[in-house]
A and B are shown apart, each in its own frame.
Chain A
Amino acid sequence: CIDLTTNELFSRNVPILLRRLETMLG
Chain B
Amino acid sequence: HESLTILHAYLRPQMLSSEEPEEYVQKLKQTVRPLASIAISNNNLKPKLSSTLDENDSGNARFVYLSYSRTTEKWNVIHAVERLIFVLEANHFHTGVQMKNINNNSSRESDLHHLPKIQSKSSSINPNDSYLHGFNPSITTTTSIDTRRIMGPGDIRHCRVMIVCLTPKYFLNEHCLNELRLCEIYQKPILVVLL
Q: Which residues of B line the A interface, CB within 8 A? A: 61-62, 64, 80, 83-84, 87-88, 91, 93, 120-126, 129, 131, 137, 160-161, 163, 166, 189, 191-195
Question: In the complex the two chains form, is B193's CB within 8 Å of A1's CB?
Answer: yes
Task: Give min CB distance, A7 to chain B, whole Å.
Answer: 5
For window 1-26 of A, CB contacts with B under 8 Å fall at 1-8, 10-11, 13-15, 17-18, 20-21, 24-25
Q: Which residues of A line the B interface, CB within 8 A? A: 1-8, 10-11, 13-15, 17-18, 20-21, 24-25
A-B contact count (CB 8 A): 63
Besides A1-B194, A7-B122, A13-B193, 9 other A-B contacts (C-beta < 8 A):
A1-B193, A3-B194, A6-B122, A7-B125, A7-B137, A10-B125, A21-B64, A24-B160, A25-B160
Question: In the complex the two chains form, is B193's CB within 8 Å of A21's CB?
Answer: no
Question: In the complex the two chains form, is B161's CB within 8 Å of A21's CB?
Answer: yes
Cα A15 to Cα B61 with chains together (Å): 20
Task: Give min CB distance, A18 to chain B, whole Å.
Answer: 5
Choose from A2, A6, A15, A24 the contact partner of B193 (Cβ within 8 Å): A2
Choose from B88, B123, B131, B189 the contact partner of A7 (Cβ within 8 Å): B123
Cα A8 to Cα B191 with chains together (Å): 20
